[in-house]
Structure 1
Amino acid sequence: MKNSLWLAVVCLAASLPTHGETFKPIELKDQELAALRGRYVLPGRIISFGIVMTSTWQNANGEVIGATSTLQVQQSTIKPQFYVSMVNEKATGAGTRSASSAGTGTVTGGGGLSSTEGVTQVVRAAGDNNTAYNNVDINVTKADQAPATQPQGQVLAAGQTLVSENGAGALSISSTGLGVQLNIQASNNQGSSAQRLAQGGLMQNATLLGNGNQVNNVTSLNVVMRENVPTAASLNGSLDQLKGLRTFGY
């Protein structure tokens, strides 16, 4: 073996720690992590960002109350706005379901759920044959251009509250300085649900006091990133680096 190679091996060995702690992980402080937010996102790489919030309540009679709120931001967006589509369905298949009786369940506590940070998902049930579903989806895709979108529904302006009501309950969706919130108060003391996106946090809360209810709170974050197609200049630079390896015998 050549002397130069031996010398390189000796120097590498001398540089290693003697206590077997190579590449020991170091915990970063919250302040340091906060300073890194968004720093490594390449300019122009994200071409579309969207939020879809859906909240629905179906009672034992098959009636459904709810809403879907959508926000889409891309390069052609002039003013980001939430658009709301109401969900108001009457019972189908009359006679196949029995009329729901008043809810008699009781839940206690939970006073601090409205002041949590980050992502909070809660289901509290005091009844039978109920189904509750809270979920958050994050979808990242790649494309050459932003998808064509056509806003649907009614614009939810800042400070505005939209309402809807049927046999399943009453829904209200509002946009304030604290964010966007969907609230459902089910009829006949069946319970309530809330979904809020505000100040960097997401809360999904369902409380069921009766029987035979189906509650869904779903939030989807959709990101489209531009395809990183290599240019001719970058390819030539890579080839030049490969050519340089030939002088070392590779």
Structure 2
Amino acid sequence: MKTSYWLAAACLAAALPAHAGFKPIEIQDQELSQLRGRYVMPGRIISFGIVMSSTWRNGSGDLIGATSTLQVQQATVTPQFYVTTINQTGNGTIPSLGTGNVIGGAGLAANQGVTQSVRAAGDGNTAYNNVSINVSEANQAPVILSNPGQALLSGQTITGSGPAGSVSVSAVNGGVQMAILANSNQGNTLQQVAQGNVLQNTRLLGNNNLVNNLTQLNVVLQNNGPSTGALDCNLTTLNGLRNMKF
């Protein structure tokens, strides 16, 4: 029997009185893993977007980085990533040469799911790896920026450079990869979203660096609340679960 049929049977059993002869059953994790995305009604999602950003600020205040955005709406013809590079000059001094050494870590790129790593061989460094999912409701989709940046085509790499180092954003391996190589041997960082996996990896070899990696998923649902009948059905089901001490 298919998973959806088992789930429907369990919900119906929970809504019936105890003397009806049915008992709700626990659904195993393996069963639940096949149900992702099945509880959003068609047309409810009016906007879906991904924001990736990586920045590196060294001890002299120099900043290098990039931001990549993807926003898909009903009016969007083809999903497309857009890239903006970031380059700022600090106080004009040259940071001291990084003398640290980080060994190993080759297996980090082979992990599945979300992988976050910060390895430091210097002093006074700060690094953040953040992954967030934001779900909101609205009457209409957000306005798409008129100038979101440079379009990133499949197989293409967009680069930028400055006093802090160099940054590259590539469309590879069915996803987007963002890498920063800091000048003066301060270190490097890599962020990648591809084939259902998220990788955020930072190596700090110098001192007084500030690194930020962010991957953010934004989903906007149409603000059309369920009808009174639908709410009553849901509450009735929940009431049945409570009576059975679930």
Kindly tell me: are residues 79 and 237 of structure 1, through their superposed partners in 2, closer, same or farther at Cα, counting changes over 3 Å?
Answer: closer
- Structure 2 distance, partners of 1:228, 1:174, is 38
Moved over 4 A (4+): 11-16, 234-238
Match of 2:193 in 1: 197
Which residue among 150, 157, 177 is the counterpart of 1:154?
150
* Post-superposition offset of 1:40: 2.0
Match of 1:244 in 2: none
- Structure 2 distance, partners of 1:236, 1:66, is 48
The answer to whether the aligner puts 1:127 opposite 2:122 as a matched pair is: yes
TM-score, with normalisation over the residues of structure 2?
0.80
Kindly tell me: are residues 76 and 14 of structure 1, through their superposed partners in 2, closer, same or farther at Cα, counting changes over 3 Å?
Answer: closer
Matches within 5 A, 1:48-59: 48-59=47-58
* Post-superposition offset of 1:228: 2.1
- Structure 1 distance, partners of 2:118, 2:217, is 22
Which residue among 101, 118, 125 is the counterpart of 2:96?
101
* Post-superposition offset of 1:34: 4.3
Q: Secondary structure at the match of 1:35?
A: coil
Match of 2:178 in 1: 182
* Post-superposition offset of 1:38: 1.9
- Structure 2 distance, partners of 1:135, 1:82, is 20
Matches within 5 A, 1:62-73: 62-73=61-72
Unmatched tracts of structure 1, length 5 or more: 1-10, 17-21, 239-250
Alpha-carbon displacement from aligned partner over 1:160-212 (angstroms, at most 9, x marks no partner): 10111111111111002331000111111110000000000111111000001
One-letter amino acid matched to 2:158 = L
- Structure 2 distance, partners of 1:26, 1:182, is 39
Superposition RMSD in Å: 2.4
Matches within 5 A, 1:1-250: 12=18, 25-29=26-30, 32-92=31-91, 99-150=94-145, 151-230=147-226
- Structure 2 distance, partners of 1:23, 1:106, is 57
- Structure 2 distance, partners of 1:142, 1:104, is 49
Kindly tell me: are residues 173 and 12 of structure 1, through their superposed partners in 2, closer, same or farther at Cα, counting changes over 3 Å?
Answer: closer
TM-score, with normalisation over the residues of structure 1?
0.79
Q: Percent identity?
A: 54
Kindly tell me: are residues 185 and 13 of structure 1, through their superposed partners in 2, closer, same or farther at Cα, counting changes over 3 Å?
Answer: same
* Post-superposition offset of 1:220: 1.0
Unmatched tracts of structure 2, length 5 or more: 1-16, 233-246
One-letter amino acid matched to 2:41 = L
Kindly tell me: are residues 237 and 141 of structure 1, through their superposed partners in 2, closer, same or farther at Cα, counting changes over 3 Å?
Answer: closer
**Of the two, which has the highest radius of gyration?**
1
